């Protein structure tokens, strides 16, 4: 059962559950790979990996503000976390398209209102494109087509 995090081992013949000893739990722990690190050669760690481990890179592609504690705070009274509106979670961006920095700078000089009129898009997608958060490919195509019609 090495590798499975179990504190209790079922015994089918007796229909009982027997708790694991500390030695069994410790052996299982030492048999697990270090998931947050990389082996010295850069590959993913295994249970037998030895040497100086490096950190595994984590790339966040999209940040979404979250305030899931809000409902609880209304019931229990306000806390300091109610003041922090920048609570963030990491998600994958899927198939979002992000414009180049040079394009975004050029578009920012045009102005948000003028871009909204030219592209027929609302304020949120225009700000999303200008800030580099990314948008759907269809929205980016509509945005580019609208900007191309401008005399800039």
pLDDT digits (tens, 9 = 90+) for 74-94: 555 555 555 555 555 545 556
Q: Is residue 129 part of a domain?
A: yes
Q: What is the percent of the chain where pLDDT is above 70? A: 67
> Could you give the number of structural domains in the chain?
3
Which residue stretches of the chain are H helix? 22-30, 70-76, 101-110, 112-119, 123-131, 137-149
Of the pLDDT bands very low, low, confident and very high (cuts 50, 70, 90), residue 99 is confident
Contacts of 118 (CB under 8 A, 6+ apart): 146, 147, 149, 150
Which residues sit opposite 135 in a β-bridge?
A: 97
Q: Any idea which of 21-25, 72-76, 100-104, 130-134 has the lowest mean pLDDT?
A: 72-76
81 domain residue, yes or no: yes
- The answer, as to whether pTM is greater than 0.95, is no
pLDDT tens by residue, 115-134: 999 999 999 999 999 998 87
Q: How many CB atoms lie within 10 A of CB 119?
A: 22
Residues 85 and 119 in one domain: no
Backbone φ and ψ of 63, nearest 5°: -115, 130
Average pLDDT, the chain: 76
Does 1 map to a domain?
no
Flag whether 56 is in a domain.
Answer: no
Q: Tell me if 139 is assigned to some domain.
A: yes
> Does 45 lie in the same domain as 12?
yes
Same domain for 77 and 105, yes or no, is: no
Within a domain: 82: yes
Token pair for 4:
């499975």
Are residue 105 and residue 145 in the same domain, yes or no? Answer: yes
Work out the burial of residue 102: count CB atoms within 10 Å of its CB; fewer than 13 is exposed, 13-18 middle, 19 or more buried: exposed
Which range of residues forms the domain containing residue 37? Answer: 8-51
Is residue 57 included in any domain, yes or no? no
**Same-domain pairing of 67 and 30:** no
């Amino acid at each position: 059962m090495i590798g499975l995090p179990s504190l209790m081992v079922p015994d089918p013949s007796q229909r009982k559950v027997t708790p694991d000893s500390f030695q069994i739990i410790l052996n299982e722990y030492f048999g697990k790979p270090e998931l947050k690190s990389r082996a010295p050669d850069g590959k993913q760690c295994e249970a037998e990996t030895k040497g100086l481990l490096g950190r595994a890179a984590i790339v966040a592609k999209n940040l979404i503000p979250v305030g899931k504690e809000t409902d609880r705070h209304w019931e229990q009274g306000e806390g300091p976390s109610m003041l922090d509106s920048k609570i963030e979670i990491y998600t994958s961006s899927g198939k979002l398209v992000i414009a180049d920095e040079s394009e975004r700078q050029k578009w920012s000089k045009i102005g948000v209102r003028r871009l909204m009129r030219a592209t027929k898009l609302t304020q949120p997608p225009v700000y999303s494109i200008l800030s580099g958060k990314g948008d759907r490919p269809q929205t980016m195509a509509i945005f580019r087509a609208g900007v191309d019609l401008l005399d800039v």
